[in-house]
Amino acid sequence: MRVKTKQGQINVGNILMGGFLTGIILAFIVAFFLYGIYKTYKAMKAPRRFSAVAPVPPQEGTTLFVASSLDRIFSDGMTLKEPAFSTEVSLAQAKNEYESFQVVVQTTNTALKKVWFEVSDLIDPASGARIDHGNILWRVVGYVPTKQPYYPVKFVGNWPDPLLPAQPIDVDAPKTQPFWFTIYVPQNAQAGRYQAKIWMKAEGLSTPREIPVSLKVFNFELPKQNTLKTAFDFYEGQTYKRYPQKENESNEAYQARIGALNDKFLILMLQYRMNPILNVDPTSPSDLARVDRYRWFGLNNFSIGKKGGTFNNNWPATDEEIEALRPVYQGYGEMLKFNKLLPYNYIYTWDEGNVGNPRVAKICSMIHRAYPKLKNMVCYHGFWDPAAQPDWGKDIDIWCFNIDNFVESQMRRIQQAGKEMWMYISGPSGFSTPNLAIDFDSIDYRIIPWLCWKYDIRGFLYWCVNWWPFVDPFQSAANTQWEQNGNGLLFYPGPEGPIASLRAELFRDGMEDYEYTQILLQNLWAFEDLSPAFGYSALVKEIKGILTMDDSLIKSMFEYTRDGRILFKRRQAIAEKIEETDKILRDLAGKKTKISATGAE
């Protein structure tokens, strides 16, 4: 279209097109400017790592110092939070407990060759008691690259996680390399204050570097079996993928090797206070023999049957087929009773889906009618409302909820209905709840049992510890198809068998912390019984205060301390109160024995 003017013709179409293009350019510039502001704001709000400083100056181009087990140390010297670095090791732990720390080697301009550590026995100078140095294990902290996930993280890159077997390694310069040390105090150890030394050796060092160790052994013992129930699934089929059949290896030999490898993984899980789910057939002698063996390592909770949540809810489709399974579950119950295993069973009856699904109610009812003491456990994102659907959940014994959906009032209604409460963790949600994925703060792994204690949650479930199908877990932490890092992977497939992660170490620490609360709780009950006659009301009040998880430690499932010093301080207070109350109870028992022996009233 052309318009005539005194100056000539104007092409209106060109003007409109030019205006349109100018508008697009201006809009793009504004959008780009706003996006820049958004990115800057997001970067300012994003979680960051902490630039850590060693507590001592370097010598011969090398710095050696100590870090807490809760310090996540990266190869560039950064940490996830303000670190608790030191020049010496100072620990306190009970008998039959593991505690860890890190020795950090930091090079500036000189690489180290063949770094190695030696440790002495732990000796109590006051009594001469000795704990053999074989109870001090050191490993090399390995690194695994992560990928950008959908949830907020402080860093994308090489994360410290696998704990590789002790071996001489080279430390390039400049580099920070942590080494993970774990001390185990045997059950028969004598209480006291022990001392030891750690020596770092390397080619080119004029003399070995020395780190002093101080260890207080509390005068009480942790039980082998957990009080807090756990259920961690181990996918035995994954070992076939990571340990293929060797050339000229017979099928029989290969199956035996895979069976032995799976056994190693399950036993290591138990040593980390993780009950494998197992899915035992109680009518199988070989399955029952496995249970007996694993119970020696601490197993106190296991699933039965070959149907349910572990198997993608593979129950029959019709009511008739479900009812036909009733004799099978009756047989399961009778065999468990005969073998004195009924208190330790559960059936992973259903996994997720919709609350109120009538099929779930029918399956649970069939199992209870088959054998009333068999326990149905179901996992759901949310909560059942007993008031709204009283009949639907009456045959559910254990309600396991996803931690991200926690609502205390809804949970309490189920507890009041007489159901046992568990919780589970799956993929990271970004809701600030703790997770077991690789790229979380270290305290997330240790705080989980503390959360269970605060809310009277009796069990914890995790979907898998060896999810290895998509990547070599030593080469990439992106082990799932869901843009996550290390979800469902707490143990690595080493050449000779399982290699633990530092996450597994920290979770076990939390489980052992939980046992502290249970020992003191037993003492509290004893003093509540004694209080009217012996006047221990003030002590009872003091114990209750120590056992109460206040806001300074845990405010909610979504908000808890990130300061490990607060957790350690509470743990120490609980331990000291156990020792104090144990002594009083022993003295009272001694007096009663003396009175009984003399016949006095």
User: Which CATH number goes with the domain that contains 333?
Assistant: 3.20.20
The answer on pLDDT for 37 being more than 70 is no
Q: Tell me the average pLDDT across 545-560.
A: 96
Same domain? For 72 and 158 the reply is: yes
pLDDT in the model for residue 530: 85
Same domain? For 138 and 164 the reply is: yes
Angle made by CA atoms 80, 554, 301, in degrees to the nearest 5: 95
The answer on pLDDT for 434 being more than 50 is yes
Same domain? For 237 and 385 the reply is: yes
DSSP readout, 348-417?
A: EEEESS-TT-HHHHHHHHHHHHH-TTS-EEEEESS---TTTSTTTTTT--EEEEEGGG--HHHHHHHHHT
At 21, is the pLDDT very low, low, confident or very high (cuts 50, 70, 90)? Answer: low
Same domain? For 295 and 352 the reply is: yes
Mean model confidence pLDDT for the chain: 92
The answer to the question of residue 178 being in a domain is yes
The answer on pLDDT for 406 being more than 50 is yes
pLDDT in the model for residue 52: 77
Q: What does the alpha-carbon distance between residue 161 and residue 178 come to, in Å, rounded to a whole number?
A: 11
The answer on pLDDT for 244 being more than 60 is yes
Same domain? For 246 and 205 the reply is: no
The answer on pLDDT for 48 being more than 80 is no
The answer to the question of residue 306 being in a domain is yes
Question: Which CATH number characterizes residue 180's domain?
Answer: 2.60.40.10
pLDDT in the model for residue 473: 97
Same domain? For 40 and 89 the reply is: no
Of 231, 203, 199, 225, nearest to 212 by C-alpha is 199
pLDDT in the model for residue 41: 39
The answer on pLDDT for 238 being more than 80 is yes
Q: pLDDT: is 53 or 241 the higher one?
A: 241
Q: Tell me the average pLDDT across 63-74.
A: 97
Give the model confidence (pLDDT) of 561-595 as tens digits: 999 999 999 999 999 999 999 999 999 887 766 65
Same domain? For 301 and 185 the reply is: no
Euclidean distance between the first and the last CA atom of the chain, given in angstroms as a whole number:
120
Same domain? For 448 and 587 the reply is: no
The answer to the question of residue 400 being in a domain is yes
The answer on pLDDT for 13 being more than 60 is no
Q: Tell me the average pLDDT across 171-198.
A: 97
Q: Tell me the average pLDDT across 421-447.
A: 95
At 110, is the pLDDT very low, low, confident or very high (cuts 50, 70, 90)? Answer: confident
Q: What does the alpha-carbon distance between residue 382 and residue 402 come to, in Å, rounded to a whole number?
A: 7
Give the model confidence (pLDDT) of 112-134 as tens digits: 999 999 999 999 999 999 999 99
The answer to the question of residue 202 being in a domain is yes
Q: pLDDT: is 334 or 37 the higher one?
A: 334
The answer on pLDDT for 40 being more than 60 is no
User: Of 50-54, 314-318, 397-401, which range is least confident?
Assistant: 50-54
The answer on pLDDT for 42 being more than 60 is no
At 432, is the pLDDT very low, low, confident or very high (cuts 50, 70, 90)? Answer: very high
Q: Tell me the average pLDDT across 487-515.
A: 98
Same domain? For 313 and 456 the reply is: yes
Among residues 464, 483, 508, which one ends one of the domains? 508
At 532, is the pLDDT very low, low, confident or very high (cuts 50, 70, 90)? Answer: confident
Q: What does the alpha-carbon distance between residue 160 and residue 73 come to, in Å, rounded to a whole number?
A: 7
Distances (CA, A) of 302 to 167, 278, 345, 513: 36, 6, 5, 22
Same domain? For 186 and 79 the reply is: yes
What is the phi/psi pair of residue 280, to 5°? -75, 140
- Residues 17, 21, 22, 23, CA torsion sign: positive
Q: pLDDT: is 530 or 420 the higher one?
A: 420
Same domain? For 466 and 535 the reply is: no
- Say what percent of the chain tops pLDDT 70: 90
* Domain span at 25: 11-45
Number of structural domains the chain divides into = 4
At 431, is the pLDDT very low, low, confident or very high (cuts 50, 70, 90)? Answer: confident
The answer to the question of residue 520 being in a domain is no
Same domain? For 112 and 245 the reply is: no
The answer on pLDDT for 334 being more than 70 is yes
The answer to the question of residue 2 being in a domain is no
Give the model confidence (pLDDT) of 385-405 as tens digits: 999 999 999 999 999 999 999
The DSSP bridge pattern shows strands 97-107 and 175-185 to be antiparallel
